[in-house]
Amino acid sequence: MNSLRDKIIQFFSRVKNSIFHFSASVKESKNIFRPGQAQAELDKKLVFSLAKSRWPSFKQLKYVKKYLNPTEQLAIGVCLAIILFSSIFLAARFYKTHLQVIPVAGGDYIEGAVGSIKYINPLYASFSDLDSDLTELVYSSLFKRNANAELVNDLAIGYEISSDGKVYTIKIRSDAVWHNMSPVTVDDIVFTFETIKNIKYKSPLRSAFTGVEISKVDDKTIQFNLAEPYAAFLDLLNFGILPQELWQQIEPASASLAELNLKPIGSGKYKFKSLVKDKSGNLRTYILTRNENYYGEKAHINTISFKLFGNLEETISALNNNLIDGLSYLPEQDKSQVVAQDSLNFYNLNLPKLSAVFFNSKSGLALMDKRVRQALAYAIDKNEIVNKVMAGNARVIDGPILPNSFAYNNQIKKYDYSTATSSNLLTGAGWKIVELTEADLVQAEKDLTDKDEAIKKQAEAKIRMGAGKWRVKDNNYLVIKLTTVDNQEYGQAAELIAKFWNDVNVKTEINLVPANQIQVDVIKSRAFDALIYGEITGADPDPYALWHSSQIGQSGLNIADYANKEVDKLLEDGRLTLDIKARQEKYKKFQEIIAEDEPAIFLYSPNYTYVQSKKIKGFNVKSIISPSDRFDDIARWYINTGKKIIW
């Protein structure tokens, strides 16, 4: 190798320096430099002393082929190829491992929603999902939820709970400022809480804080004092905080009319920028801009705009025409209306909501018998409902506490689809099958004119049933009026359930009620035999409000008017203790009793489908407690990207 190097150096030196005027052939030139090491060293010294550079110039490289033999040329070519390949490989590896694509600030996101905006105000936002969405973005709270729906600090930086579970002491951060640059203080938090509790403001949050008082400990500390322990208390402290300086100037009676409801001042990640109304004065677009002075992780996206539509069809049309980048909620039944689905992300978020058939046992003797309720549960194929009605975008459930809760009991009695079991239970409860023929109905028509009221009543019952095989007991036919909200999801579910019950010879009549009438006309008055309805269970598994006997009646949420002293005691104890294991045991026993009594048939827990254009990156939410929680990680959403070298 040294000999080859010497020859190259000597060759280029001779070309560059004509002083030697070699006239011998290349073969002779090679021989001159092979006699010995001493001669080679002398030649090198001579060349080095005359050459301006030890390296050949670019022009001299063209003579290489005249000097090197084919083998040597091949060797050099291979070496150069290896060097080139290695360089490319190392450069690619460096790019991959050291050049990182990162989100950068910029871009605008437009979301479509159905409805109107009225109260961007923590006091009243719970009246509307859209108001709640905006309130989530504009205001800060003591605690918030992360992408996994877990409760984490926001304005709070730490807390302590007294040993008796009645006193919560919370430390507040000192670097938060309002959108008008005034500092957020402990006084603002105390003011907001007192406003919620003030009956003059008529906030729906008021009832949640009955028996709770707040006090200011110092400039960085507040204290909540509870009349009795409540394990899920921290979950209640996610309401937005209002600026006292602005809201204390507004009389309580005028609070719902204040301009601050539409042009709010908060301390959240985004702040009010502008709104657009149509010629009729209806709000059509609402725009928020990034809060550059936010105390936490700042958002990347410049503006978040909400475009408002009159119905879902208009919203989907806007999505199809690229007028919006996202859809706040897409029912599974309407997914087929969305075109270019490859350009969209469909996020199916876990939502603590359940859909069930609630029984009104006071509507008749039949439903008072738990064997009948159990039989009706066995007759329903829940999987078919999930597949046909929800297109698979839901989970089958068996009880009032959902599977992702720490209190869930997987060992409870389950009512897997079995018409044989259903029929046996109905027969065992005394409900035998009789057949009504067309001839029977003809006779019933004649009996309607009979003077005997008993015969006339029986004739009316037969005509109502129609021809077929039906269940009867003590001359009374088993008829269930199945009521639900008049929408596509529950309407289809009702049709399937009616079919399932008819298959076990139970006459089922469907009653569809408009959504704006269901509460007053049906639920409050308990005007139903069986009701298909949905309930939000909340972040904590505490089902007190839904199943305790104190919640029976028009003002309560115990839709089935279920009363059980053992269940009452379990629910009371479960919400008072902070010991998770103790709570688990209480709620597991509660689920066992409910599964045996079957005051409701628990059908499925639907997912919340959120749609976004693929140009929006960084969305990582998996579970939500309320629809507005889809914005929990909005600080990590991004549109624009940049690159930086990392070492």
Taking only the tens place, the pLDDT of each residue in 547-584 is 999 999 887 889 999 999 999 999 999 999 999 999 99
Please report, for residues 79, 261, 324, 338, 567, the alpha-carbon distance to residue 307 in angstroms, rounded to integers and kept in the order given: 64, 18, 8, 18, 46
pTM of the model: 0.76
What would the pLDDT profile of 405-457 be if each residue is shown by its tens digit? 999 999 999 999 999 999 999 999 999 999 999 998 898 888 888 878 888 88
Q: What is the pLDDT of residue 28?
A: 45
Percent helix, percent strand, percent coil in the chain, to nearest 5: 40, 25, 35
Q: Which pLDDT score is estimated for 516?
A: 85
Residue 529 DSSP class: S
The pLDDT of residue 70: 80
Helices 370-378, 580-597: crossing angle, 10 deg rounding = 90
Both tokens of 175, joined, read 């670097």
**Phi, psi (5° rounding) for residue 466?**
80, 175
Sign of the C-alpha dihedral computed for residues 183, 184, 190 and 194 taken in this order: positive
- The answer to whether residues 125 and 131 touch, using CB atoms and an 8 Å cutoff, is yes
> If you compute the radius of gyration of the chain from its CA atoms, what whole number of angstroms results?
39
Predicted local distance difference test score (pLDDT) of residue 50: 60
Give the mean model confidence (pLDDT) for residues 73-82: 84
Encoded tokens for 210: 């009955």
Measured CA to CA in angstroms, residue 151 lies from 140, 143, 237, 624, 632 at distances of 14, 6, 10, 11, 11
Q: Rounded distance, CA 178 to CA 289, Å?
A: 14
Task: Please state which of the ranges 60-74, 301-315, 620-634 shows the lowest mean pLDDT.
Answer: 60-74
3-state secondary structure of 334: helix
How does residue 21 score in pLDDT terms, banded at 50, 70 and 90?
Answer: very low
Would you place residue 49 in the very low, low, confident or very high pLDDT band (cuts 50, 70, 90)?
low
> In the 8-state DSSP scheme, what is residue 127?
G
SS (H, E, C) 291-320: CCCCCCCCCCCCEEEEEEECCHHHHHHHHH
The residues, ordered by sequence, that sit 6+ positions from 561 with a Cβ below 8 Å of its Cβ are: 360, 361, 362, 526, 552, 553
- 3-state SS class at 589: helix
Residue 553 has a pLDDT of 86
For the chain, domains (ranges, CATH) are 2-99 (no CATH), 108-325+615-645 (3.40.190.10), 353-431+478-607 (3.10.105.10), 433-477 (no CATH)
pLDDT at 10: 60
More confident residue, 11 or 71: 71
pLDDT 10s digits, 286-316: 999 999 999 999 999 999 999 999 999 999 9
Highest mean pLDDT, choosing among 2-11, 80-89, 213-222: 213-222
351-393 pLDDT tens trace = 899 999 999 998 888 999 999 999 999 999 999 999 999 999 9
